[in-house]
Amino acid sequence: MKKRGILNAQLSYLLAALGHKDLFMIGDAGMPIPEGVEVVDLVLTAGVPTFKQVLDAVLDEVQVEGYYLAHEIKEFNPELEEYIKAGLPEAEVEYMPHEDLKKFSGKCRFAIRTGEFSPYPNVILRAGVVF
């Protein structure tokens, strides 16, 4: 039995299978996931697990070279924007309107659904390499 790191079998497999430049998303409980994008549904109840908990667990296991956020996070959830930036200090960030982010999420290999209920807590991550 695995004893540390991400224990969810589906998520652990998907993270291990990522290649350089692959896209994946961490989103809130209400983020629409386009048809054809695999969903790892972690939501248990409102707020459980939080976006921050999931992001931290994922960043402990995956190299990220870039990420995409909605412009709206700057106004409606600046604390979370700063949290994401602090967790990814070397990664390049690109902003787009929330509607465009939703469309862009169709390019993701998979999406992780959290229990987050705050505004615009959605990020698309681009896998990097460790060498």
What's the CATH code of the domain at 74?
Answer: 3.40.1650.10
Active site residue 71: no
- Asked if residue 2 belongs to a domain, the reply is no
Contact 94, 120 (CB under 8 A): no
Q: Is 71 annotated as a binding residue?
A: no
As a whole number, mean pLDDT of residues 10-26 equals 98
- Separation between Cα atoms, residue 118 and residue 69, nearest integer Å: 14
Shortest CA distance to 55 belongs to which of 21, 90, 80? 80
- Separation between Cα atoms, residue 58 and residue 125, nearest integer Å: 10
Q: What is the distance, to the nearest Å, from the Cα of residue 3 to the centroid of all Cα atoms in its chain?
A: 23
- Asked if residue 5 belongs to a domain, the reply is no
As a whole number, mean pLDDT of residues 100-121 equals 98
- Asked if residue 94 belongs to a domain, the reply is yes
Contact 45, 115 (CB under 8 A): yes
Shortest CA distance to 45 belongs to which of 124, 110, 117? 117
Task: Please enumerate in sequence order all residues whose Cβ is within 8 A of that of 86, keeping only pairs 6 or more positions apart, or say none.
Answer: none
- Separation between Cα atoms, residue 121 and residue 26, nearest integer Å: 8
Calculate the average pLDDT of the chain. Answer: 97
Q: Where are the alpha helices (DSSP H) in 17-66?
A: 51-59
As a whole number, mean pLDDT of residues 99-119 equals 98
Number of domains observed in the structure of the chain? 1
Q: Is 28 annotated as a binding residue?
A: yes
Residue 1 has pLDDT above 90, yes or no: no
Question: Residue 103: which domain range?
Answer: 21-127
As a whole number, mean pLDDT of residues 29-47 equals 97
- Of 5, 13, 20, 44, the catalytic one is 20
User: Quick count: other Cβ atoms within 10 Å of Cβ 17?
Assistant: 10
Residue 31 confidence class, pLDDT cut points 50, 70, 90: very high
- Asked if residue 12 belongs to a domain, the reply is no
